[in-house]
A and B are shown apart, each in its own frame.
Chain A
Amino acid sequence: MSTYGSGFITRVGKVLTGAALAAAVAVSSLFVTLPVNAAGGSVEMSTSYPGISTKPGQDVTFDLDFDNRAADGTSVELSSSGLPKGWSDEFTGGGRKISAVYVKSGEQNALVTYKVTIPDDTAKGTYNITIRGNQSALKLTFDVTDEETGDSGLTTDDTTQEGPTGTTFSYSVTLQNNSAADQTYALSAKTADGWSAVFKPADGSNDVASIDVAAHASATLNVKVTPPEKVAAGDYEIPISAVSSEQNLSATLKAKITGTYGVEVTTSDQTLSFNANAGHEKDVPVKIHNTGNIDLSAVALSVTAPDGWDASFDTGKIATIAAGDTADATLKVTPSKNAVSGDYALTVSASNDNTSSDASFRATVKTGTAWGIAGVVIIVAVIALLMGIIRKFGRH
């Protein structure tokens, strides 16, 4: 049923098409008296910006406008001449490559696009191309301005970063390849001793030593710079470079290390424990070490001891401790008279306006041996008494 139906419709369609063709032939034969050539002279081809400045390796497009002053539309043959060696061009319209365009009566803008591809090895200079549409000619001028390598470069937005000692600096660097060929860049950083710099693609997770950048493309790199742990305050420069077989790009990263404040409380042999007798003063030598890279001034020392204890420092504030230097102080501790044998905690802290540090000391209180000696004396006295009794009563 359906097969029969569709066959019937197809047959009807063919009959109709044949009829239309016959009618069209009849109509065209009616107007054949108008000469095509005469009408072609009335079409003018133009473009808004016939002179253009460009770079090698770029595509240049021109929108072609047509003005048909005749009453009838006409077909226009498109051609170009004077194309420099190695250049290529094409006319496009309606999304396709074309060689002719039918121009209706009146003004028609951007009917055709003319595209010229300028090869990468084009020398600097002025080039002309003439394109024709029937009798209308249009001279296009190309001013090729730049050399091949163009703007290839290594740039960073944040050249100077600032941070205290121990900071890891992270720079965002853009590597632009403006050459015609893909490039493989070897990445390196000239770092001073103790410094390290690693490169990581912005979209990657692993550190890389080289990176591929396609022609006319760019890559963003993260450069992580780690200064040495004990770096002095100051300005530092880290030259980085990206070297390919054809290019040698470089940039300089700048880091400003600000000072760090640090202080540590310790003793000469690093032991934070000492013995003391209940009720007796004990001197504990304490060292205050400036671990930062800036001199510390007015370092105050304080100590927290258990209730009933007497603990203080012999010195008041320490006026200055040079960076990396150590100051001595003596902690005077008197455990409470009733302090039971055992271990106690004391917290010693050194602080100034910029930094502070605590150290926990362990004091082992020992019972004095004075009473032990008294006990021995009592035993000796008792034995002497016994001997005296024996002498007096025994041997007579």
Chain B
Amino acid sequence: MENPKPDLGRSLREFSADWNSDNSRVNRHGFAVLYRKELADHLESRRFWILFFLLLIISMVSLRGALNTISGAASQASSQGQSITDFLFLALFTTSGSSIYSFSTFLGFLGPIFGIMLGFDAINEERSQGTLNRLAAQPIYRDTIINAKFCAGATVIFITIFSIGLLFTGAGIVISGIEPRAEEFARIAIFLLVAAIYICVWLSISILFSTLSKHAATSALGCIALWLFLTMFLSLFASGLANMLYPADSARATMMDAINNYRVRVGFSRISPYYLFNEVTSVLMNPNIHSLDIMSTLESEYSQIASYLTLGQSVLQIWPQIVAMFAETVIGFAVAYICFMNREIRA
């Protein structure tokens, strides 16, 4: 960054020398030890298992609900001589039952709680128990502590999401008897990956809160307040702002007003990772959705031939959302990192 024209060979050599230095070796070893310890802590903790089984039970219940809805819709469609969608298996993930949310909705709601649970006491708990001093006294770089904590949390998230997602898939195949196609498997894999990134956003936010606040309870409450706001109330703020800027329900409102109103509302809502995740889910799990842009959708409504988007095209539609979530994770972690490094550890 400092050098506008970096000499790649020299930087690589420097990096290699740095990488192989004794300090680095010790640090890597320390990182591995810390990472393993953090992972073990998470996997042995009671609250992890409570949340894991909560997610598992909820996913199975939502599968049941989705199956009821889909079999009803399928028999209705076949009795009317209509064909069922080609991507029936994907519908298991997004179809809600009569009294229960769909799997993807549950992930969108409860995933953040899982991420917050993993990170809200990452730093301040160590500090309040006085173990941070001891850790900092080890022959490791100081940032290794927060790096290892984040990596262990992210690993737990990936393990959890993929195990629950694959259990859901397997149970779906066994119970429904639908054979997923290769493209459906690919879409499910990408969906689970995005869900994991989405939860990592909350992991990095909760780690940030844990570095900022002294008490674990404060950071937990702060995280949950932010989660509630972004998940529940941001949409209200967004529509309020949009209606203020472009009143769409007045008698003088034009088509352009309605479109601008919609755009402001959506643009404001996209601050929330929850909204981004829902957009990703809707496009990824339904190849019939061609675009998230209101203008394009309006324009293409009549001229387009009904067809499915290919996987690559679907991913391109939601690529900005994925990038945004990834960037939010990295930036959240970077801020937490800076805060952690600037904090005085020694009491």
Contacts and interface: CB of A to CB of B under 8 A. Distances in A.
Contact of B341 (A338, A366, A379, A394): A394
A372 interface: yes
Contacts, number: 100
A340 B300 contact: yes
B25 to A, nearest CB: 14
A375 interface: yes
Interface in A320-359: 336, 338-345
A389 B316 contact: no
B187 to A, nearest CB: 15
B341 A342 contact: no
Contact of B323 (A343, A375, A388): A375
Contact of A342 (B290, B302, B342): B290
A306 interface: yes
B1 A384 contact: yes
A393 B296 contact: no
Contact of B316 (A306, A341, A378, A379): A341
B275 to A, nearest CB: 18
Interface in B190-230: none
Given A338-B293, A342-B309, A394-B341, A306 B303 contact: yes
A362 B341 CA distance: 58
Interface stretch (B124-132, B172-180, B331-339): B331-339
A394 B141 contact: yes
Nearest to B313: A341
Interface string B307-347: 10100010011011011001100110110011001100000
B323 A378 contact: yes
B33 interface: no
Nearest to B312: A366
Given A340-B290, A379-B327, A394-B341, A371 B305 contact: no
B296 to A, nearest CB: 4
B79 interface: no
B334 A344 contact: no
Question: Which of B300, B305, B320, B322 has the most chain A CB atoms inside 10 A of its CB?
Answer: B300
Contacts of B143: 390, 393-395
Given A366-B313, A393-B337, A395-B141, A340 B296 contact: yes
A123 interface: no
A342 B327 contact: no
A307 interface: yes
Contacts of B337: 386, 389-390, 393-394
Contacts of B304: 306, 340, 342-344
A208 interface: no
B300 to A, nearest CB: 4
A371 B319 contact: yes
A153 B186 CA distance: 81
Contacts of A385: 330-331, 334
B1 A375 contact: no
A307 B316 CA distance: 24
Given A379-B326, A384-B1, A388-B1, A308 B317 contact: no
B307 A343 contact: yes
Contacts of A362: 305
Q: Describe B's contact surface by its main secondary structure.
A: helix
A340 B293 contact: yes
Contacts of A389: 334, 337-338
Interface residues of B, number: 35
A344 B313 CA distance: 15
A341 B330 CA distance: 30
Interface string A365-382: 011010110011011001
A366 B302 CA distance: 18
Contacts of B319: 371-372, 375
B299 interface: yes
Given A340-B291, A342-B307, A342-B309, A383 B300 contact: no
B339 to A, nearest CB: 10
Q: Which among B295, B323, B331 has the highest number of chain A CB atoms within 10 Å? A: B323
Nearest to B335: A389
B300 A342 contact: yes
A274 to B, nearest CB: 14
A375 B290 CA distance: 19
B142 interface: yes
A276 to B, nearest CB: 13
A194 to B, nearest CB: 41
B297 interface: yes
B322 A367 contact: no
Interface in A22-65: none
A382 B322 CA distance: 13
Contacts of B316: 341, 366-367, 369, 371-372
A389 B293 CA distance: 36
A362 B303 CA distance: 11
A393 B341 contact: yes
Given A379-B323, A393-B338, A339 B296 contact: yes
Interface string B271-297: 000000000000000000011010111
A356 to B, nearest CB: 23
B215 to A, nearest CB: 25
Given A344-B303, A362-B305, A394-B143, 12 more contacts: A340-B299, A341-B309, A341-B316, A341-B317, A344-B304, A369-B316, A372-B319, A379-B327, A383-B330, A389-B338, A390-B143, A395-B141
- Counting from the closest, the 4 A-B pairs by CB-CB distance are A306-B303, A375-B323, A340-B291, A394-B143
Interface of A: 306-309, 336, 338-345, 362, 366-367, 369, 371-372, 375-376, 378-379, 382-386, 388-390, 393-395
Interface of B: 1, 141-143, 290-291, 293, 295-297, 299-300, 302-305, 307, 309, 313, 316-317, 319-320, 322-323, 326-327, 330-331, 333-334, 337-338, 341-342
12 contacts: A338-B299, A342-B304, A343-B307, A344-B305, A367-B316, A371-B316, A372-B316, A375-B323, A382-B327, A389-B334, A389-B337, A394-B341
